[in-house]
Amino acid sequence: MRHCLVLDLHDDPDLIAQYEAHHRDVWPEVLAHLRAHGVRELEIFRLGTRLVMVMDTDDAVFDAEAMADAERGHPRLREWEALMWRFQKPTPWTPAGRKWTPMTPIFRLTDAAPGAQPER
């Protein structure tokens, strides 16, 4: 399954550069945690201060709540999240106490009518 989540960064070029540098060398414990919980692929895109995360998961393994529980119980993962929160902030639409917020899918090409032709 594909998940698309959104988060903002603080509007500070130095902090943004640091955030990106951390993501060029993600801690091994973080990578192992993601893989162990069924994350097959994860990409983060940035435009200005807005981040979009696209995460492909194995439905047979992935459970967001179990993943969050495991994170809360792992000191090194909590350390990573605390470090990342120095750079991150919730979007204006993020519920209180949350970070990454799921986006609502509104279109998928594979769901569009087959054989639909563009207007001329």
**Rounded distance between C-alpha atoms, residue 120 and residue 118, angstroms:** 6
Global model pTM greater than 0.95: no
Phi-psi region of 5 (alpha: psi -120 to 50; beta: other; left: phi over 0): beta
Among the options 3, 10, 22, 33, which is catalytic?
10
pLDDT at 117: 67
Q: What is the mean pLDDT of residues 54-81?
A: 95
Any bridge partners for residue 56, and if so which?
2, 41
DSSP 4-53: EEEEEE-S-HHHHHHHHHHTTS--HHHHHHHHHTTEEEEEEEEETTEEEE
DSSP state of 113: P
- 22 catalytic, yes or no? no
Give 7-56 pLDDT, tens digit per residue.
999 999 999 999 999 999 999 999 999 999 999 999 999 999 999 999 99
User: What superfamily in CATH does domain 2-96 come from?
Assistant: Dimeric alpha+beta barrel. (3.30.70.1090)
